Amino acid sequence: MIKINIEDLEGALNNHVENVQDYINYDALENRERIYIEKNIEYILKAKPDEFEDVIMKARQNNIDNNRLKKAFVGGSKYGGSIGYSKFSSKGTSTYNAYDLAQKLKVNICPYCNRNYTFTIKEKNSKSTRPDFDHFYDKGTYPILALSFYNLIPSCILCNSRLKGRAKFSINTHLHPYKDSFNDYAKFKLKVLDSKFYYDEKSFEIKLETKNNKAKKIKEDFALETLYQEHKDIVLELIQKREVYPDSYIDDLFQQYEGTLFKNREDVLRHITGGYIEDKDIDKRPLSKLIKDISEELDLI
């Protein structure tokens, strides 16, 4: 998981909260429930990850019925049709929808796996695409968070629909991509099995090591260590590049092309490794965390 960093986070948050309030079906609630939700709606929609449990607890303390919350916040064929999250997520919604949020966020790489692009394209008379929005706290169990900004995680379809599926996430059990960076808690490592690892993918394994329990849950629920075995070709190339590009040659390349092809030595290293090598940049290209971690282990960067 890579931490989500947004240039205009406050602007995206306020725009989302202002627009999705119109999609909530307050008529589905009893009067006392409606009064409570209307009074606290901004807190609910703006709740930060550490406030999710408080939102849930207070709704329970006020005896807000979960099924009515689904009719107010979720919608869909079972819960009132095109309202709530159902309306927000529909491509046919001509006002503010999930495409607009995705464009504001500009999260182009899945923060859960760092493997797949999640570009957003929204054009009239053209095919469109956007990331899935995973509900960190699932909307079936916690409908009150179905439209909450920080509960909507832009992600690839593989992570959201195939791997996470019905797994239960919470701020107490898993790292949250608006709050935490998997990069701070886990590292890819090279496990050499025999001396043929310089040319044979079967001679090494890719390990994902962490001592953090929340990071372990992310690793398990998204099958990250298993999935990354499919990228041994990238690691093998890095092993071979370490031999082909000694430090002296890297320095020579930089001196020869400084100011023309490369602005700094980091540009040369990105050219060689094929990935971004600064922690702050690993959300810019798929597999950058794998490339950075293994390159560091090999002393390539």
User: Are residues 242 and 158 both part of a single domain?
Assistant: no
For 28-74, the pLDDT digits (tens) are 999 999 999 999 999 999 999 999 999 999 999 999 999 999 999 99
Distances (CA, A) of 152 to 3, 109, 201: 14, 15, 38
- Indicate if 73 and 25 belong to the same structural domain: yes
pLDDT in tens, 72-104: 999 999 988 899 999 999 988 889 999 999 999
36 and 123 assigned to the same domain: yes
Q: Are 158 and 253 members of one domain?
A: no
Domain-embedded: residue 4: no
Nearest partner of 241 among 270, 219, 203, judged by Cα: 270
Instruction: List beta partners, residue 132.
Output: 155
b (16+ CB within 10 A) / e for 138-171: bbeebbbbbbbbbbbbbbbebbbeebbeeeebbb
State the average pLDDT over residues 248-277.
94
Residues 65 and 142 in one domain: yes
**Is residue 174, in this structure, part of any structural domain at all?**
no
**Amino acid in the structure at residue 173:** T
Residues 120 and 205 in one domain: no
pLDDT confidence bin for 125, thresholds 50/70/90: low
Q: Which of 295, 243, 253 is nearest to 273 (CA)?
A: 295
Helix axis angle for 288-297 and 265-273, nearest 10°, is 110
Residue 2 lies in a domain: no
- Identify the band that residue 124 occupies on the pLDDT scale cut at 50, 70 and 90: low
Residue 267: exposed, middle, or buried by beta-carbon count in 10 A (0-12, 13-18, 19+)? Answer: middle
| Domain of 110, in residue numbers | 9-164
Q: Above pLDDT 90, what percent of the chain?
A: 88
Q: Are 56 and 145 in contact (CB under 8 A)?
A: yes
Q: What backbone phi and psi angles, to 5 degrees, belong to 130? A: -160, 165
Same domain, 61 and 118: yes
Mean pLDDT, residues 280-286: 93
Instruction: Examine the domain organization and report whether 134 and 210 are in the same domain.
Output: no
Question: Are both 20 and 155 inside the same structural domain?
Answer: yes
Is 175 inside any structural domain? no
In a domain, 170, yes or no: no
Domain count, the chain: 2
Do residue 200 and residue 85 come from a single domain?
A: no
Confirm whether 3 is domain-assigned: no
176 part of a folded domain: no
Instruction: With a cut of 70, say whether residue 130 has pLDDT above it.
Output: yes
